[in-house]
Amino acid sequence: MKINNDNIIISFKNLSKKFGDFQAVSNINIDIKRGEIIGFLGPNGAGKSTTMKMMAYLLKPTKGEIWIRGNGKLEKLSNHNKDYLLNNIGFLIENPAFYGNVSPRMILKYFAELKGYPKKKVNQRIEEVLETFGMMNWIDKKIKTFSKGMRQKIGIASAIIHNPDIVVLDEPTTGLDPQARREIRDFILNLKNKGKTIFLSSHLLYEVSEVADRIAIINRGKIVAFDTLDNLESKNQKSIINIELLNHPEDNELDRILEHIREILIPFIGVSDDLNWLNYNKDNKIFQVLFNGDPKNQLIILKTLLRHEYEIIEFSVPKAGLLENLFIDLTSSEKTQYLDKKFDENQKLKEISMEV
């Protein structure tokens, strides 16, 4: 089997979890490579925390396995090796709850010792970690005086206090203000620069798209996509291009112009006769063209407009809007069935080619 691949540090194999009759996680197959950030993206209730709890051995899979690299080789997580395998992982799962009367120093000491971090080095390590969060001044203050963002930073600090190679963070920035979110995001990138492998969940697309090397989208317990952002986009074959013309159309000529632009572009962009592929936003005076994402066509669209003497003063291909579309597409109920089928087919092909 391919589990000898040296780069893989975690491997989910048909990982599944049922609560009674309810299938919360269904046949997850994901390989995580050393040093990468995997964004685990899905709407609330999709099964993210359940998956992460199975990694932390807080929940047992009803089917499937989790393999984690221990001493050089991947090992199936089970009762007899969980302590040693999980010592190399830092977990922050759901909101950490701390007693209000303790200080960061006490909390971090507790977790460092729990994870067997060398006693002699604990104090230095605590200071080093708090320093990276700019929280040294708070080292002996009581948690009850902390803001939500500060508590979350202490939660992350306690997850990584023993300096693990793998870090699992479940919605680390949810509910935080933009400043705290940015600090946590920078901290995650900093961990990656130190060679750590990071498995990061969020229900917010932009939070994982900013940092993740690859994104696994989970919906109703199933992985509906797993790839780099760029590949997800080009596979999805849908891009938006925003265009502002030098001469903004007057109300009474708008319909005619829209019709004309449709006429000249339709041979090149290969879209259906659904007219929504071209829109005009009167507020910001921007034309929005939905096309199949091929960069060649992006050029053709612009050239064609120019050839017909539309003067373009600005154009852009907004990344966020595009990604949002993709995420909504993949997690909306109608499409899910189709994608499930597609994904199962791909999975089957993969399995077959693995056997050969």
Ligand X SMILES: Nc1ncnc2c1ncn2[C@@H]1O[C@H](COP(=O)(O)OP(=O)(O)O)[C@@H](O)[C@H]1O
CB of 97 to ligand X, least distance (A): 16
Per-residue contact track with ligand X, 5 to 24, x per CB under 6 A?
A: --------------x--x-x
Q: Is 42 in the site for ligand X (CB under 6 A)?
A: yes
Among 16, 26, 50, 173, binds ligand X (CB under 6 A): 50
Task: Look at residue 217 and give the partner it binds from ligand X, Mg ion, none, a contact being a CB closer than 5 to 8 Å depending on partner kind.
Answer: none
Nearer to ligand X, 184 or 269 (CB): 184
| Minimum CB distance to ligand X smaller for 223 or for 322 | 223
Told to check if 118 binds ligand X by CB under 6 A, we report no
Residue 134: name its binding partner from Mg ion, ligand X, none (Cβ under 5 to 8 Å by kind).
none
Continuous H helices in the chain: 48-55, 82-86, 104-114, 122-132, 148-160, 178-193, 205-209, 229-236, 251-269, 295-307, 319-331, 333-355
Q: If binding is defined by CB under 6 A, does position 44 make contact with ligand X?
A: yes
Candidates 187, 184, 112, 191; CA nearest to 148 is 184
Indicate which single residue of 27, 49, 209, 331 sits in contact with ligand X (rule: CB under 6 A). Answer: 49
d(CA 37, CA 41): 12
Number of residues engaging ligand X in binding (CB under 6 A): 11
The residues, ordered by sequence, that sit 6+ positions from 344 with a Cβ below 8 Å of its Cβ are: none
Q: Which of residues 22-41 bind ligand X (CB under 6 A)?
A: 22, 24
User: Which of 47/90 has CB closer to ligand X?
Assistant: 47
Q: Which of 27, 28, 39, 47 binds ligand X (CB under 6 A)?
A: 47
Q: Which residues 6+ apart lie within 8 Å of 342 measured at CB?
A: none
Residue 19 touches which member of ligand X, Mg ion, none, C-beta under 5-8 Å by kind: ligand X
Distance CA 251, CA 353 (A): 58
Residues 243 and 315 sit within 8 Å (Cβ to Cβ): yes
Q: 115-146 in b/e burial notation, b at 16+ Cβ within 10 A? A: bebeeeebeebbeebbebbebeebeeeebeeb
Is position 104 an interface residue for ligand X (rule: CB under 6 A)?
no
How far, in Å, CA of 282 to CA of 288, rounded? 11
Question: Whole-number minimum distance, CB 203 to ligand X, in Å?
Answer: 7
Q: Is 202 in the site for Mg ion (CB under 5 A)?
A: no
- Strands 197-202, 37-41: pairing kind: parallel
310 in Cβ contact with 280 (< 8 Å): no
Residue 49 is a binding residue for Mg ion (CB under 5 A): yes
Q: Which stretch binds ligand X (CB under 6 A): 48-56, 256-264, 273-281, 293-301?
A: 48-56
Q: Does 61 bind ligand X (CB under 6 A)?
A: no
Q: Which residues contact 54 (CB under 8 A, 6 or more apart)?
A: 15, 17, 25, 60, 61, 66
Whichever of 17 and 162 has its CB closer to Mg ion, that residue is 17
Which residues of this protein are in contact with Mg ion, per CB under 5 A? 48-49
Binding site for ligand X (CB under 6 A): 19, 22, 24, 42, 44-50
